[in-house]
Amino acid sequence: MTSQAAASPDLVTLRVDGAVAEIVFRNGPLNLVTRALLRALDHAAGELEARSDIRCAILHGGDARAFCAGSDIKEFAHLREDASEQKILYEDRVLRRIAALPMPTIAAIDGPALGGGLELALACDLRVLRRGVAIGLPESMLGGLAGSGAVRLARLVGPSRAKEMLYTGMTLADDVALAWGVVNRVAGEGTALDEARRMAATIAQRGPLSNRLAKSLVDAAHDLPVDAALSRATVAQQAIFDSHDLHEGADAFFAKRPPNFVGR
């Protein structure tokens, strides 16, 4: 059964099909990052935060030509001393909210993801790219800067490759994006959304509590000193052993049947 809830009737749609949710951008052929799109995306993320039944979420560009082609440059003329209040802080908050969603997230990139579009994809846990689609952070070509993108990209690919991308504004072909680790998979056949849906279906079959805790621990490995992260790992492991799902998984293993995970 599929349910559909509109975060904004025009710009973002949140679809839920079983344990998998899809956030669909609908902001014209390029899905430009406008304040209105960010507001709609923020609303959709807020709906997902409280959904313990969602085991994976996919972000994609719908029928648009681009996953997201970045910021609307027309907005820049009105942004100077107040850019932090009007754009930067709000955009950063929405991206942080996407990154902090408790369930695994996948960006399905079937069209160009450039500038703010790639920053949106980098806020997801995993990225699937359609063959032949280029991605990049070309802000320096306009004298601009990919703020959160610089940080998330460097953590993903290392400082040298991140600096090359940022300094030159280069776009990456699919094979380079995969080799550098910017994306997890390149869709061999069909669309990135098809591949992301297959990946999400696999994730949804796994222990939802263990996947949520795994996400928090991987993030902690970057954000905290190693001793603090390991302390969190100890607490998380105890939560797993206290859970219904671990013992259901063990029982299913010995009974040679699929497990029935409930997320607790």
For 194-219, the pLDDT digits (tens) are: 999 999 999 999 999 999 999 999 99
Could you tell me if 218 and 105 lie in one domain? no
Catalytic residue among 22, 119, 195, 248: 119
Could you tell me if 111 and 213 lie in one domain? no
Give the confidence band of 187 by pLDDT, cuts at 50, 70, 90. very high
Could you tell me if 150 and 249 lie in one domain? no
Could you tell me if 137 and 241 lie in one domain? no
Q: Is residue 11 part of a domain?
A: yes
Residue 140 CB-density burial (10 A; 0-12 exposed, 13-18 middle, 19+ buried): middle
Structural domain span for residue 86 = 2-205
Please tell me what DSSP assigns to residue 142.
Answer: G
Could you tell me if 6 and 85 lie in one domain? yes
Token code pair at residue 212: 């949520």
Could you tell me if 6 and 130 lie in one domain? yes
Could you tell me if 219 and 198 lie in one domain? no
Q: Is residue 225 part of a domain?
A: yes
Mean pLDDT of 26-31: 90
pLDDT for position 147: 83
Could you tell me if 97 and 125 lie in one domain? yes
Structurally, the chain folds into a number of domains equal to 2
Q: Is residue 27 part of a domain?
A: yes
Decide if 25 contacts 74 (C-beta within 8 A). no
Could you tell me if 149 and 72 lie in one domain? yes
Between CA 63 and CA 66 the distance in angstroms is: 8
Mean pLDDT of 130-155: 90
pTM for this prediction: 0.91
pLDDT for position 2: 40
Across the strands, what pairs with 186?
129
Q: What percent of the chain has pLDDT over 70?
A: 90
Q: Is residue 220 part of a domain?
A: yes
Q: Is residue 261 part of a domain?
A: no
Decide if 40 contacts 220 (C-beta within 8 A). no
Higher pLDDT, 151 or 70: 151
Domain boundary at 170, 188, 205, which? 205
Could you tell me if 141 and 246 lie in one domain? no
Q: Which residues of 159-191 are buried (b: 16+ CB within 10 A; e: fewer)?
A: eebbeebbeebbbbbbeebbebebbbbbbeeeb
Q: What is the CATH number of the domain that holds 235?
A: 1.10.12
Task: Reply yes or no on whether the pLDDT at 5 is more than 50.
Answer: no
Q: Is residue 152 part of a domain?
A: yes
22 part of the active site = no
119 part of the active site = yes
Between CA 77 and CA 81 the distance in angstroms is: 11
Which amino acid belongs to residue 101? L
Q: Is residue 262 part of a domain?
A: no
Could you tell me if 175 and 62 lie in one domain? yes
pLDDT for position 160: 97
Catalytic residue among 22, 91, 139, 195: 139
Between CA 186 and CA 122 the distance in angstroms is: 15
Over residues 38-94, the pLDDT tens digits come to 999 999 999 999 899 999 999 999 999 999 987 765 665 565 556 555 566 888 899
Could you tell me if 221 and 92 lie in one domain? no
pLDDT for position 142: 82
Q: Is residue 222 part of a domain?
A: yes
pLDDT for position 79: 54
Task: Reply yes or no on whether the pLDDT at 9 is more than 60.
Answer: no
Could you tell me which of 56, 71, 70, 44 has the C-alpha nearest to residue 128? 56
Higher pLDDT, 237 or 57: 57
Distance of CA 209 to the CA centre of its chain: 19
Q: What is the CATH number of the domain that holds 89?
A: 3.90.226.10
Rounded to 10 deg, the angle between the 89-99 and 147-157 helix axes is 30
Higher pLDDT, 102 or 87: 102
pLDDT for position 78: 63
